[in-house]
Amino acid sequence: MPPREGTYGLLAEFDNPSDLVRATQKARHDGWRRMDCYTPYPVEEAADAIGFHRNKVPLVTLIGGLMGLTAMFLLEVWINTLAYPLNIAGRPLYSWPAFVVPAYEWTILWAGLSAAFGMLALNGLPSLYHPVFNAPNFRNGASDDKFFLCLEALDPKFDLLETKKYLEGMQPLSVVEVEY
């Protein structure tokens, strides 16, 4: 049975992090790929269980730093050789050692800004709304003492009735449907 129009997924509520990690590992082992865990504090085992290991922020930072280096170096070359050449004591117009310090500074600036804005963009922030906010049990326990596993309807294995039975077999406190 295909998911109803407007269904985001099913949300299972657990009392402790070990039950959540066990359920997440089982779901991952059984072939679920579109899922997420919600906890009131970081649970590293849950991140490992859902297969979260890709981090693109270092690559974004590297690209930003290289862009800053290139941009400043080209800017200095253009200014000193074409836009505003100064003949000072017969020294060459293109003197790359003088360009190193400002180019280095721009490398650090662009890498830092790329890291900050890249992290926000890759995390999808700022995000003022998420469909799980519609679940009443999530609203009452997500930031205090409850642990949640959400199997998303976009997963090819998702079938509303079968998925609900599957989640109930993991002995959660409750299983609710999350709507958009």
Q: What six digits make up the tokens of 99?
A: 């360009």
What phi and psi, each to the nearest 5 degrees, are found at residue 177?
Answer: -85, 135
Domain boundaries, the chain: 7-54+143-179, 57-122
Q: Which residues contact 94 (CB under 8 A, 6 or more apart)?
A: 77, 80, 81
SS3 55: coil
| pLDDT (0 to 100) of residue 137 | 85
What's the pLDDT score for residue 67?
Answer: 98
Give phi and psi for 141, each to the nearest 5: -135, -5
Q: What is the pLDDT of residue 142?
A: 78
pLDDT recorded at residue 3 = 55
CATH code, 7-54+143-179: 3.30.70
Mean pLDDT of successive 10-residue segments in the chain (180 residues)?
A: 75 93 94 92 90 88 98 95 89 89 97 97 89 86 86 92 94 92
Q: What is the pLDDT of residue 4?
A: 60
The CA R_g of the chain, rounded to the nearest whole Å, is: 26
